[in-house]
Structure 1
Amino acid sequence: MTAQVVVLGAGYAGAGAVQTLEDELEDARITWISDTDYHLVLHESHRVIRNPGVQEHIKIPVEEIKSPSTRFIEGEVTDVDTDERVVSLDDGTNVEYDYVLVALGSSTAYYGIPGLDEHSLTLKSLDDALEIHRSVKEAAAEATREDPAQIAIGGAGLSGIQSAGEIAEFRDAHNAPIEISLIEALPEIMPGQDPELQGAVKKRLQEKDIEILTDDPITEADEDAIHFDEGEPLEYDVFVWTGGITGREALEGANVEKEHNRVVAESTFQTSDDRVFAIGDSAVIDQGEAPAPPTAQAAWQAAELVGENVARAIEGRPLKTWTYKDKGTLISIGDEAVANDIQGLPINTFGWIGAETLKKMVAARWIADVSSPKRAKRAWKHL
C-alpha cells in the first residue's frame, strides 16, 4: 500500500524537506500543507521593514519548489491527531497520514509579561514585516524634530538587531525624525555569543545612533510605554518584540513529548510517536548536551537528512543520526554586516564588504537550491 506522507509548513525546514522527500520516496504520496502558498526567506524578511519591494525577491512560490507529483494544500493547521493520524485544517479539511513531518516553525514567546502580546508587533512572517514598515512610516510622518517618533525593539538577538538596523536605514534614507531603542533583559546583546562578535555588533549599532538598553527586564507593556524592573518607563510609538519563541498552538493536542509546545525529537528526527518526525523551530532536537538551535542553518542541515530517514522508517530500516554543525554567524546591521567563526576562514570576526558579500552568498545559495539560480541572481542586490 502506498504510504501517505504529510509535510506541515513551508519554512526552511518544510521547503527543504519536501525536496529531499521527493528524492527519497519513489512510491509514497507526498502532501505539503502550509498557510501560505510561498516559502519566505525569513532571515532576510527584515529587509522588508525598510523597503516593501524586497518581498518579491524573498517570496518563492511553492510551485517553484515542489515537483508536480506532490500535492499542495494551502490552509492553517489547527490540530494534529496522532492517535487517529489526521491533520485538521481551519476550513474543516482533514488530511490522513501514515507519516507526518512537523515543520510548522514557531510562535512568539511573551513569557507571561503583562501587555506584551497586546501592544507589540512581531517579525515572524511577511505580513509582520510589512506591518512594521507601515507603522514606522506612519509614526515618522506624525513626528517632528522636537518630538521624534520613538521606535522600541525588545530582544537583542539576530531578529531584533537586524530589525533595528533596517529601521535606522529607513530613518537615514528619508531623513525621518526617529529615535531607536534596542532592549535586552540580559547584560549583553546577543546573549551567549562570542564577546568579540557582541562588541563588533554593538559598535555598529551605536554608529547608527541606536540606543542600547541592557540588564533590565521588561515587566509590563501598555499602549504608550514599556515598563522595566528598575529603570524609568520608555514611551514608544512603535514597539517590536523579538524576544523568544515557543511552539505553535496547533501542536497542543498532539500526543507526543513536547517542551514549551515544541515537539521533542531524537537526533534521527523521530519523536515519541514513531510515525511523527519533526525538524526546524517546531522541534527540540536532541544533540547531546544541548538541543540544536532554532536557526535557519540548523533547519537547512536537518532538511538534507530527514527525507532519507522518513524513507528508512517506511521501509523498516535503521535511521541515521544527525549532528548539527555550526558554520558560523552572519548578521546584518542595515547595509553593513558582521561575520563570526565562519567555517574554513582564519579570521574569527570581520565586517564590511567581506561579511556583507558572504551573507548575500548564503542567502543566494539557499534561493538557488530551493528554486533556481536565475531567481537567486535577481534577488542578489536586495539581500
Structure 2
Amino acid sequence: MKTIVILGAGYAGLRAAKKLVHAKLDARIVLVNKNPYHYEATQLHQVAAGTKEPEDITFDIRDVEPQKVEVLIDEVTEIDRAAHKVLLKDHEPLAYDYLLNALGFESETFGIKGAEENGWPLVDVDTALAARRRLESMLARYNTSHDENDLHIVVCGAGFTSIEYLGELVWRLPRLVKEYGLPEEKIRIDCIEAAPKILPMFEPKLAQWAVKYLEGHGVNFHVSTPITEVKPDAVVSNGTEYKANTVIWATGVRGSEVIAKSGYDQKRNRVIVKDDLSVEGNPNEFLIGDVSAVPNPAADGRPYPGTGQISIVQADCAAANVVARIKGKPTKKFVYKSLGTVCSLGPHCGIAELDAFGHMKLKGAVVQILKKIVNDRSVLEMTDIKTMLESN
C-alpha cells in the first residue's frame, strides 16, 4: 500500500486531504500539522485587533477529518528528500511514496534591523494574540505612564493583512478609548509602505476610496517610505522616526523555513514548481500553497500571489495528480482563474472586485456580506456543512 503524506493543515492541506479521500484510493493518507487545530489565516487580523476570539476562527482538525486520514500532530523539522522521509520533532521519521507539501508561511523581515525583535507579526493564532495583548497593554498603560507613544500605533506594510487590520482597529479603537478613559485626540495610527501605491491589485478609484475611508478614521499613510530600522519605540525610514510603542509587522510573508533546511532550490522559501505542481526531478512530490511559486503565463511568468483562493485550486490539482501518478495516468496542468478580490475595512465595510459574473466593483457595507460568503465557502471546501455552520 502506498503512503501519501500531506504536510500542513491550512487551506491547501485540508482541501487536498478531502479530495484524496473522495478518490477512494487503496492508500494510506497521513496529515501532519504542528497544532491540533486549523485556523482561518485570512481572519488573523481580527483576532489581533480584538474583534474576534481564537475560537471564532479555529476548529479541531480531528473533528473534521474522516477516519481514512491519519492525523499526526507534530512539527516538521526537515524533509529527507533522497530517502523520502519527513523528519519530525517528537516522532520517528515518516516515510512516504507521495508528498503534498503545504507547510504554509512565516513572517518576512527582509533583514531589516530590529524588525524581528520589535515588530509584532500576524502569522498564526499565537502571534495575533500577542499583538492584541501588546496593543491593549500599551493603551491601558498610558494613564500611569503618560507616555504618548503608548497611544501611537505603527502598522508596517500596506498589503491585505495591514489594510484589513487597520479597518478592524479603527472600528474598535473608540470602544478602547472609552474603556480606558483615553484622550482620543492623542491617538495616532501610521501605516508605512515602501511601494508608491496602496492596494494596487484594485482598480485605482476603488483603492482610493478605501484609503480615504481609513484616513477619515484617523489613519496616516506614508507611501514610498522604505523601513530601514525598527526600534522598541519607533519605526525608522532613512532617518525619519515614526514614534510608537505598538508596531504591527505585516510587510509580507515567506514560505516555511523547512523549505530551505530541506535543500530545495528556493527564494524566500518558495519553490518554482512545474506546470503540474510537482517539483523538478521529483515527480511524486508536489508543493502547494505558500511554499510554492506558480508561474502565471498571463504575467510573463511571474508567480501568482499567494491567497487562500489559489491554495484551494492548487490542492484540487495536486490531489488529482497524485491520483493520476498512482494509477499510472498523465498528470494535468494547473489552471487558475481568480473569482475576484475582497478586502474588508472593518466589520461593516469593505471593497471588492468580482470576476465570476462579469467584472463588478463594490464598496461599503455590502462587501461584508461577500466576505462572509468567502469565509464560509473556504471552510466548506476544506471540511463539511456542519463545520461551516458551527464557524458562524
Do they fold alike, i.e. is TM over 0.5?
Answer: yes
d(CA) in 1 for partners of 2:51 and 2:170?
15
Render the CA deviation track for 1:142-198: whole Å, top value 9, x for unaligned. 125883511111110100111122222221222254422111111111245431232
Q: Identify the match of residue 286 of structure 1 among 288, 295, 300.
A: 295
Q: Is 1:69 matched with 2:68?
A: yes
Amino acid at match of 2:154: A
Distance 2:10 2:243 in 1: 35
Q: Report the alpha carbon displacement of residue 202 of structure 1 after superposing the two structures with TM.
A: 0.3
Alignment of 1:32-111 (within 5 A): 32-51=31-50, 54-91=53-90, 93-111=92-110
Structure 2 partner of 1:127: 126
Change (3 A) 1:192 1:357: closer
Q: Partner residue of 1:27?
A: 26
1:262-281 paired onto structure 2 within 5 Å: 262-272=270-280, 273-281=282-290
Shift of 1:345: 4.5
Normalized against structure 1, the TM-score is what? 0.93
Which residue of structure 1 aligns with residue 346 of structure 2? 334
1:242 shift after superposition: 0.9
**3-state SS in 2 of match to 1:226:** strand
Show the counterpart of 2:174. Answer: 172
Question: What amino acid sits opposite 1:126 in the alignment?
Answer: V
CA contact (8 A) 1:336 1:351 kept: no
Q: Which amino acid aligns with 1:210?
A: V
Q: Secondary structure at the match of 2:349?
A: strand
AA matched with 2:391: A
- Contact kept, 8 Å, 1:328 with 1:339, in 2: the verdict is no
Q: Is the 8 A contact 1:221 1:227 kept in 2?
A: yes
| Partner residue, 2:196 | 187
Q: What's the CA shift for 1:368?
A: 2.9
Q: Which moved further from structure 2: 65-74 or 339-348?
A: 339-348
| The 10-residue stretch of structure 1 (148-157 or 336-345) with the greater mean CA deviation from structure 2 | 336-345
Percent of aligned pairs sharing the same letter: 27
Report the AA paired with residue 37 of structure 2. Answer: Y
Deviates more, 1:347-356 or 1:73-82: 347-356
CA deviation after TM superposition for structure 1 residue 71, in Å: 0.9
Please list every run of 5 or more consecutive structure 1 residues that lacks an aligned counterpart in the other structure.
none
Q: Which amino acid aligns with 2:211?
A: K
* Deviation sequence 1:72-120 (CA, Å, 0-9, x none): 1111111011001111112253111111111001121111111111111
Assess if the C-alpha contact under 8 Å between 1:122 and 1:242 holds in 2: yes
**Cα separation, 2, equivalents of 1:182 and 1:348:** 28
Other structure's SS at 1:71 match: strand
Deviation at 1:53, TM superposition (A): 5.1
- CA 1:146/1:102 → structure 2, altered by over 3 Å: closer, same or farther? closer
- Aligned partners of 1:375, 1:30: CA distance in 2, in Å? 21
Give 3-state SS (helix, strand or coil) of 1:142's partner.
helix
| Structure 1 CA distance for aligned equivalents of residues 289 and 338 of structure 2 | 15
Paired residue for 1:234? 242
TM-align CA RMSD: 1.9
1:295 positional shift: 0.6
- After TM superposition, the structure 1 = structure 2 runs for residues 142-181 of structure 1, keeping only pairs within 5 Å, are 142-144=141-143, 147=148, 149-175=151-177, 177=182, 178-181=187-190
1:206 partner SS:
helix
Contact 1:114–1:221 (CA under 8 A) maintained in structure 2:
yes
Q: Distance in 1 between matches of 2:389 and 2:99?
A: 34
Equivalent position SS for 1:258: coil
Q: Give secondary structure in 1 for the equivalent of 2:339.
A: coil
State which of 191, 209, 214 in structure 1 corresponds to 2:218.
209
Amino acid at match of 1:310: V
Which one-letter code corresponds to 2:343 in the other structure?
Answer: I
Instruction: In structure 2, list runs of 5 or more residues that go unmatched.
Output: none
Distance 1:347 1:26, change over 3 A: closer
For the residues of structure 2 that align with 1:125 and 1:329, how far apart are their CA atoms? 22
> Aligned letter for 2:348?
E
Q: Aligned partners of 1:365 and 1:192: how far apart in 2?
A: 22
Is residue 367 of structure 2 the alignment partner of residue 355 of structure 1? Answer: yes
Partner of 1:6: 5
SS at match of 1:175: helix
Inter-partner Cα distance in structure 1 for 2:242 and 2:388: 41
Q: TM (normalized to structure 2)?
A: 0.91
Does the aligned pair in 2 maintain the 1:225–1:235 contact within 8 Å?
Answer: yes
Which letter does structure 1 place at the counterpart of 2:11? Y
Deviates more, 1:90-99 or 1:355-364: 90-99
Match of 1:249 in 2: 257
- Aligned-pair CA distance for 1:378: 4.1
